[in-house]
Amino acid sequence: MRVSFSETDIPLPVYADIISAAKRLKGKARRTPLLESKLLNDQLGGRLLIKPECLQLGGAFKFRGAYNAIEQLVQHGASGVAAYSSGNHAQGVALAASMLGVEAVIVMPKDAPKAKIENTRGFGAEVVLYDRYFEVREEIGEKIATERGLELVRPYDNADVIAGQGTVGLEIIEDVKEMGLALDAVVAPVGGGGLVAGMALAMGKLSPRTQIWGVEPQGFDDTRLSIKSGARMPHGEGESSICDSLLANIPGELTFALNHELLHDIVTVSDQEVLHAMHHAFHYLKVVSEPGGATALAAVLAGKVQLKGKTVCAVISGGNVDGEIFKRALESS
């Protein structure tokens, strides 16, 4: 039975929804492996497992939630969907809609990485660009959905999207158990909070001893501030970050309701720490990460989530990075 969050009275996803999502995604989404490097483990003094969702279809975990939500909408007669996204949800929605044979219109910021805009169009979606500093993407997306008769698939404040993202946590626990390990902690990037919320739901059921940590870019710590205050609140103004996929202004209503109860803690990382993590992901694991996707690894490498003597899994959530940013990462020490 689902429960509702009193602020919105919207039903929250539950563990059973993640199991249903896993069934829908079987044979559709890619089951990403767990990677590790002995050299890196020796340096850090613990066992670090990496879940590389940068290898997921569309280059990010977002495909999971998008497909889970859109398949159910199509089953109920939807002929098209609309979405707003800085890039990864855009690609996930565009790809899922293409696979399911329905129209997709995506609202994206003009300054989104070129690769993300091109890939979204490449998957067959119509892209509507907006100015993130002077326009409100939610208003644009809702207007398009209403005018064109499309179903709006929000990037994180959607129970079916959260359930789809929760399959990341489901796979981690299944694979860790097969390895004969027990996880001390799992660390994941936080933008709107859908990934870590879904993972926390899955892991709270399957591995309650495992701590769930979230990581935000410095200056964009709205989830950390909200959890600390007990109410949703935006981050400060005037900051900048290379982590374009994690720049949500305020936590979602559903994601805050879950993360406020389920997360152990949230930390922040700097752009330089993120570049360092991107470098290490490539050097030790041969994995290409985008900045936002590398924040969990950055937190571990910077000692903000302790690894020494422990077994920790960090999620690299996406790999859709422009060449210039990746070049900066490779040149960082």
Shared domain check, 197 and 101: no
Q: How many CB atoms lie within 10 A of CB 164?
A: 35
Shared domain check, 299 and 247: yes
What confidence score (pLDDT) does residue 228 get?
Answer: 95
Q: Of 152, 185, 205, which residue constitutes the final position of a domain?
A: 152
Shared domain check, 246 and 148: no
What confidence score (pLDDT) does residue 209 get?
Answer: 96
Strands of 36-142, DSSP E: 47-52, 80-84, 103-109, 126-130
- Helix (H, G, I), strand (E, B), or coil: what is residue 116? helix
Say which CATH number the domain at 115 has.
3.40.50.1100
Among all chains, which residue has been given the structure tokens 């935000």? 216
pTM of the entire predicted model: 0.95
Shared domain check, 264 and 321: yes
What confidence score (pLDDT) does residue 237 get?
Answer: 75
The dihedral formed by the CA atoms of 36, 38, 40 and 42, expressed in degrees to the nearest 10: 140
Q: Of 123, 152, 181, which residue constitutes the final position of a domain?
A: 152
Domain of 22 in residue numbering reads as: 4-60+159-331
Q: What is the Cα 227 distance to its own chain's centre?
A: 18
Shared domain check, 217 and 174: yes
What confidence score (pLDDT) does residue 114 get?
Answer: 87
Q: Of 131, 152, 173, which residue constitutes the final position of a domain?
A: 152
Shared domain check, 49 and 171: yes
- Helix (H, G, I), strand (E, B), or coil: what is residue 82? strand
Shared domain check, 173 and 195: yes
Question: Side chain identity at 84, as an amino acid letter?
Answer: Y
Q: What CA–CA distance (Å, rounded) separates 103 from 100?
A: 9
268-309 pLDDT, tens digit per residue, is 999 999 999 999 999 999 999 999 999 999 999 999 999 999
Q: Which helix (H) or strand (E) holds 186?
A: strand 185-189
Shared domain check, 146 and 267: no
What confidence score (pLDDT) does residue 239 get?
Answer: 77
Shared domain check, 311 and 210: yes
- Helix (H, G, I), strand (E, B), or coil: what is residue 265? strand
Shared domain check, 324 and 177: yes
**How many domains is the chain built from?**
2
Which segments of the chain have a pLDDT < 50? 1-6
Shared domain check, 227 and 171: yes
Shared domain check, 254 and 307: yes
What confidence score (pLDDT) does residue 6 get?
Answer: 43
